Amino acid sequence: MAEKMELNEVEVWDGNYAASQALRQAQVDVVAAYPITPSTPIVENYGTYVANGYVDGEYVMAESEHGAMSACVGAAAAGGRVATATSSQGFALMVEVLYQASGMRLPIVLTVVNRALASPLNVRGDHSDMYLGRDSGWIQLDAFNAQEAYDLTLCAFKIGEDMNVRLPVMVHQDGFLTSHTAQNVHPLQDDEAYKFVGKYQPYEEMLDFSKPVTYGAQTEEDWHFEHKAKQHKALFDSREVIEKVFKEFKDLTGREYKRVESYMMDDAEVAIVALGSTVETAIVAAQQLRKEEGIKAGVVAPRVFRPFPFDEIREALKGVKAATILDRSAPMGAMGALFNEITTAMYTTPHRPILNGYIYGLGGRDFAVNEAKRIFKEAKANADAGYLTTPIQQFSGVRGPKLGFFETKRG
């Protein structure tokens, strides 16, 4: 048996440490990983637990992220709990296997510390890697701070391994802003955490020789479509289990998670929709604007990026006149990915708020409270005018001439 760790009621952990503690407490059977900035400390911390007897599972240091995720797939098919961590280029290298893991319905947990994608090479946080995974068939949970990185990692095992889900789950946190920023974290004690996550239930496992299984079969035009349609349905159907697990977590800890988080939205006239640590920046901006200028500002943040919470988004934004969607990834000839999802959700409601998008914070460029306030005020101007006064897509915080794309017709 692995040694238990005595934790304080409040610990000072950064996002990486929080995630690695959650992996330890979940008593993962196989962690197969390859280090990459800024997620490296997750793997290093875990290695320290292994070296000191706090883990009795296997720890496989692969030769690349592709090899790491491939070993995770082999391990998961062999009927046990599996997890790993990565960022950016490592995530990109894993992509081939991400699709294979979800296609084989293997509940692997991947903690992703979001970082920009080269070129130019950049180690800082943006959401390029997170967006790269959005069609890979994984559930994607988004943590906005270290506490959430810990909480959601524990929830991830329980969601993915649920017999009605059996899908892999990513838990995202922002590189450096969350991963390397020490904050107060309220952990569970080891027994409590493991009891919440629960014992791993093997299903169609390769180590049960009474029932041989074939993983990774070939299908062409005769069966591929049915497999993919079923997988898509399973992903959408996981919403119920996600909510159930969030409720169980709230009952245990008092900390409440929803598929879409809303802040000050009850009477909000304008909103910012964002992901990651930016959510907290936007909340501060909204609080200040309410106090200073009486602008009824609110913040909406998808906690679950996949399956995308279209239903909850409609509900969260139903009362606003205007909303601005922030995307922290280079859209490269399109609208931002979050902008696209939000506009899709809102277009199909009778009430269509005025929506625009900002690209911001690429490669770790700072996004400060004042900039969020400016964006809120712009949304307020749109709300007052009753039409979009700016291009649909703009850039925040980039040098050079002002960038903006696509106008809407007045009114």
Residue 36 in the binding site for other proteins (CB under 8 A): no
198: left (phi over 0), alpha (psi -120 to 50) or beta: left
Q: HEC string of 321-359?
A: CEEEEEECCCCCCCCCHHHHHHHHHHHCCCCCCEEEEEE
Q: If you compute the radius of gyration of the chain from its CA atoms, what whole number of angstroms results? A: 21
* Contact flag: residue 72 with other proteins (CB under 8 A): yes
Ramachandran sector of residue 278 (left: φ over 0; alpha: ψ -120 to 50; beta: rest): alpha
Decide: 75 and 29 in contact? Cβ < 8 Å. Answer: yes
- Residue of the chain from 74, 319, 331, 391 that contacts other proteins (CB under 8 A): 74
Q: What is the dihedral of CA 310, 364, 407, 402, to 10 degrees?
A: 170
Compose the 10-29 pattern: x for residues touching other proteins by CB under 8 A, - for all others: -------------------x
Q: Which two tokens stand for residue 257?
A: 């998670």
Nearest to 274 by CA among 351, 376, 146, 354: 376
For residue 298, CA distances in Å to 45, 55, 248, 285, 311 come to 37, 43, 27, 9, 19
Residue 33, interface with other proteins (CB under 8 A)? no
The residues in 179-218 that bind other proteins, with binding defined as CB under 8 A, are 200, 202, 206-210, 212-218
Q: Residue 32 Cβ, how far from other proteins at the closest point, in Å? A: 6
User: Which CB sits closer to other proteins, 57 or 309?
Assistant: 57
- Which range touches other proteins (CB under 8 A), out of 75-83, 159-167, 170-178, 340-348? 75-83
Record the tokens describing residue 406, joined without a space.
């696509």
Identify the residue among 15, 35, 38, 57 touching other proteins (CB under 8 A). Answer: 57
Nearer to other proteins, 217 or 332 (CB): 217
| Closest approach of other proteins to the CB of residue 211, in Å | 9
Give residues 152-171 in contact with other proteins (rule: CB under 8 A): none
In whole angstroms, the minimum distance from the beta carbon of 31 to other proteins comes to 9
Which residue's CB is nearer to other proteins, number 80 or number 331?
A: 80
Contact footprint for other proteins (CB under 8 A): 29-30, 32, 56-58, 60-64, 66-68, 70-80, 82, 96-97, 100, 200, 202, 206-210, 212-219, 223, 227
